[in-house]
Amino acid sequence: MNITLEKFADLAALVEGQAPLADSLDHGTSHWRAVARTGLELCSRTPDADPRLILLFALLHDSRRVNEFADPDHGPEAARYLTTLRKEGIINLSNEDSTTLAYAMYHHDAGETSDDLTIAACWDADRLQLQRLGYWLKNELLSNPLSHTLEVQELVSSYHESDELSWGDLFIQAQALCSR
């Protein structure tokens, strides 16, 4: 993905503007940024995970959700939205990266785990944020052993309450991880 900070900010504004539940406390933009921050934290400790895809996952994974509670189609809809954004030239990803990201979004709420480090970081980032809704973490649903540690779980548990990082901040963090 070759994108500037300005283009990413435009993408985030577009996605937020089209998201039915963007203002939701449970599945809206503050949750998406907490997932991004959590995923990038995991990525910083898992060098082979792709921070670009983790950031896009966080932005898109719940963007098509239409119901706070039962919405089994929101993952597949997010994957289709990615396809639309690619066709419109808004997101430029290789076919391989697009396939990985679409799979991560399509299956993110299916209770699966993954050996793919990028998908693992995406899914674990979302699942680690379930604590905010009062759910107990189930280690068997976390892919990366790092996510099982109390240190990581305690660190990321505050990310939803501390909404201080903007999409721009998160983009810069992802870019820094890409250059390591």
* Distance (Å) of CA 152 to CA 41, 44, 156, 180: 9, 12, 6, 21
Question: Over the stretch 47-78, which tens digit does the pLDDT of each residue have?
Answer: 899 999 999 999 999 999 998 888 889 999 99
Looking at the predicted structure, is the pLDDT value of residue 1 above 70? no
Query: Looking at the 3D structure of the chain, how many domains does it have?
Result: 1
pTM for this prediction: 0.95
In this predicted structure, what is the pLDDT of residue 61? 96
Looking at the predicted structure, is the pLDDT value of residue 162 above 80? no
- 47: which residues sit within 8 A by CB, 6+ positions away? 180
DSSP annotation string for 94-137: -HHHHHHHHHHHHTTTTT---SSHHHHHHHHHHHHGGGGGTPPP
Contact 54, 38 (CB under 8 A): no
- Residue 47: which domain range? 5-178
In this predicted structure, what is the pLDDT of residue 161? 65
In this predicted structure, what is the pLDDT of residue 137? 82
Which one of 51-55, 131-135, 136-140, 155-159 scores highest in mean pLDDT? Answer: 51-55
Of 137 and 49, more confident: 49
User: Which two structure tokens, joined as six digits, stand for 156?
Assistant: 């990321």
Contact 6, 128 (CB under 8 A): no
- Residue range 157-175: average pLDDT? 84
How much of the chain, in percent, has pLDDT values that exceed 70? Answer: 97
- Judged by phi (left if over 0) then psi (alpha if -120 to 50, else beta), residue 166 lies in beta
Question: Over the stretch 98-109, which tens digit does the pLDDT of each residue have?
Answer: 999 999 999 999
In this predicted structure, what is the pLDDT of residue 104? 98
CATH no. for residue 136? 1.10.3210.10
Task: Identify which of 47, 79, 74 has the alpha carbon closest to the alpha carbon of residue 144.
Answer: 47
H or E element that contains 142: none
Q: What is the overall mean pLDDT for the chain?
A: 92
In this predicted structure, what is the pLDDT of residue 163? 61
CA dist., res. 169 & res. 139, Å (int): 29
Contact 147, 42 (CB under 8 A): yes
